[in-house]
Amino acid sequence: MDFKKLNDIDALNAKSLQLRYSNTSQALLFAEEALKYSTEINDEKWLAISKLNKLWCLFLQSDFNDIIDELIKPTFYFSDSGLESYRAEALLLTAQVQEGYGDYENSAINAYKALELFSNNSVEWGKIQTLSLIGSIQARLGEYKNSINTFTNCLEQRTKINDLPALASTHNQIARSYLLNNDFENAEKHYKESI
């Protein structure tokens, strides 16, 4: 076992995760390098984690091509290996892509599975991100009251961790759901909160 490469892979994946939302292009380069090293040493765990990181970066760059097909093997690996928080992350990414393609039924199924796994494993960021996706799915399906409740739950969770940019976004999502439900007073209130 090449422990130096394992440490390098771990560090590259950590850098990729750290930069995922702020510098996705650089995060993708780190994920690809980690995937290359994982392939060289043929380590299944790090292959799955590195591939998941790479696929998240591609998704964030709006490159949805083949993501769901590419997620199948890592998702099964995470499930078989008991790496439930990674499995939840893979399911969340699958649900995000499905939502992007308008496959709301399957997106909801995978999002609820991800939410359960994130909740069972106390992964707060995953739980919050999944709640946001579920709220979006509900709004797209015309379930505005459910959407408002889900986004409000998400807002409460984001308030606890003081995630200011995400708070503004969540207020905006709540406002949109109120607007679509013809509740203009509450829509205006949340739009103002989002500014």
- Number of CB atoms found within 10 A of residue 81's CB: 13
* pLDDT for the residue numbered 89: 96
Q: Is residue 112 part of a domain?
A: no
> Can you give the residue range of the structural domain that contains 54?
1-63
**Rounded Cα gap, residues 193 and 152, in angstroms:** 13
Residue whose structure tokens are 């946001």 = 132
Q: Is residue 45 part of a domain?
A: yes
pLDDT in tens, 88-130: 999 999 999 999 999 999 999 999 999 999 999 999 999 999 9
Q: Is residue 23 part of a domain?
A: yes
Q: Is residue 150 part of a domain?
A: no
Q: Is residue 51 part of a domain?
A: yes
Residue 163: partners with Cβ closer than 8 Å, 6 or more residues away: 128
The whole-number mean pLDDT for each consecutive block of 10 residues of the chain, a chain of 195 residues, reads 82 94 94 95 94 95 90 94 95 96 96 97 94 97 97 95 88 94 93 87
pTM of the complete model: 0.89
Q: Is residue 34 part of a domain?
A: yes
* pLDDT for the residue numbered 164: 82
Q: Is residue 107 part of a domain?
A: no
Q: Is residue 47 part of a domain?
A: yes
Cβ 151 vs Cβ 170: under 8 Å: yes
Map residue 128 onto helix, strand or coil: helix
**What total of structural domains would you count in the chain?**
1
pLDDT in tens, 149-162: 999 999 999 999 98
